[in-house]
Amino acid sequence: MKTRSILTKPMRGGEGCEAVATTEACETQSCDKDCVLSSWGAWGPCSMACNGGIQQRRTSVLEKIVANGRCAAEDSSSRLQEQNCNMNACIGDEICIAVQDLIISVDSSGSVPAAMWPNVVNFTEELLKRYKAKYYAIETMRVGIIQFGNGAVEDEGIISPAFKVTSLTNNIATLKTAAAAMKHKNGFTNMAQAFSLAEELLEKQGRPEAQFAVMTISDGVPSFKFNTKEKAKELESRGIQKFMVSVSTPRSDAFELMKAMASKPWETNVVRVPAWDALQDGGGPFVQEALVKFCPASMSPSSVLDIARQGGFMLVRERGYCGGLGKTLGKRILEPQACYELAAEAKRQAFSMGRKYRIGRCSVELLSFSCATYKGWRADLENPACNASWGGAFHESRYYDWYAIQPSDCTL
């Protein structure tokens, strides 16, 4: 609206003034505003270590909707993308070398028959044998063990908490000993309390760079379903991956509940065991299935050695190198095979592949070694040694992975 004043009024038959106020429309656009999405985040870990898994990436909401604005659903293609990953076939001797902090949560409630309890313990021990706390000379897995199934109503109606068997540790021997000593508790299934304890251990002891995960071994019959499901949602909101080893029959209520509480997609985060006696003798097939589903970075030692034998070189150290960095042979080399060929042409015995900000760089190391040293590395890829004459321990570096070339006189 705008107005004006009359300065001279009409007199002696003069004409009156025009209207002294006028209006026009303004801000006619809708008050509704659609949300604004961020760019795509990084791809998450693969849901399977081999035999084909799925990885996801998401966008987040930078600006929320206003009034009747619109925003794509969280699971729509505008906000969630998936792709296949780890399509290589499993060999059968896979080990887990992921940078993962894992809590193994074991059900020892009355719904687990006492006669079957040794099977549960043995299954847990067999799982631990497949985890490596160190590989290529860097720390990988940390594992903690908790038990539930000791449930009882304590004073003032409080449900007894789950209890810690071990803290998060990379001492696999200690974990095996502790797992072997677990006792059957025969209480009710206080699974919600187990989720709470797992969350507490991960948040207090977990590494910032590691994937947080909880593996629950249970028949899926918690005593307080609503509380348990709510606690499972809380773990999800905190970015904690939930794996389920469900001892149940297909399409049963117990199996459906375990599926619902597992991270999505449930197909790659749930292992179904048909009955407790199927875990007899360690439950080998189910250990293998759990490993490749729940470990985002497993590898087959036999397959790695076969590839090294055929290719003439092998990865020895991640995030570090042995000897002095020599000449950079290329800055756009993305495959180890190509770097190996350049290093062999330069008559060198070792090379480094760049990572992170130095991805694409291929450099050679100034050192030489014997066939015996090469065989020694092959035999101990968990903790390979860098000879003192080459400068002692490996040089730490976030930007290089180190490979050794098989000496020409070396027969494997």
The string of DSSP letters for 306-346 reads HHHHHHSEEEEESSEESSEEEEEEESS--SHHHHHHHHHHT
Q: What is the pLDDT of residue 228?
A: 94
Residues 37 and 106 in one domain: no
Q: b/e for 219-234, b at 16 or more Cβ within 10 A?
A: bbbbbbbebbbebbee
Q: How many of the other CB atoms lie within 10 Å of CB of 320? A: 21
Residues 58 and 138 in one domain: no
- Scan for tokens 């999405």, then name that residue: 37
Residues 318 and 366 in one domain: yes
411 part of a folded domain:
no
Residues 69 and 139 in one domain: no
| CATH classification at residue 149 | 3.40.50.410
The model carries a pTM of 0.77
Residues 47 and 126 in one domain: no
| Nearest one of 72, 102, 55 to 214, comparing CA atoms | 102
* Cβ 128 vs Cβ 95: under 8 Å: no
257 part of a folded domain:
yes
- The number of domains in the chain is 3
The residue range of the domain holding 3 is 1-86
Rounded to 10 deg, the angle between the 191-205 and 225-237 helix axes is 20
Q: What is the pLDDT of residue 404?
A: 93
Among 36, 67, 86, the domain boundary falls at: 86
Residues 372 and 223 in one domain: no
412 part of a folded domain:
no
Q: What is the pLDDT of residue 390?
A: 65
Q: What is the pLDDT of residue 388?
A: 58
| CATH classification at residue 38 | 2.20.100.10
Q: What is the pLDDT of residue 46?
A: 74
> Which residue positions in the chain have pLDDT lower than 70?
45, 49, 388-392
228 part of a folded domain:
yes
Residues 262 and 383 in one domain: no
Among 299, 321, 355, the domain boundary falls at: 299
Residues 80 and 142 in one domain: no
Q: How far apart are CA 79 and CA 58, in angstroms?
A: 5
Among 49, 68, 86, the domain boundary falls at: 86
Rg, the chain, Cα only: 31
Q: What is the pLDDT of residue 389?
A: 64
410 part of a folded domain:
no
- Scan for tokens 């810690």, then name that residue: 164
85-143 pLDDT tens trace = 878 788 888 999 999 999 999 999 999 999 999 999 999 999 999 999 999 888 999 99
Residues 167 and 209 in one domain: yes
122 φ, ψ (degrees, to nearest 5) = -65, -40
Integer CA distances (angstroms), 216 to 131, 230, 255, 350, 390, in order: 17, 16, 13, 43, 46
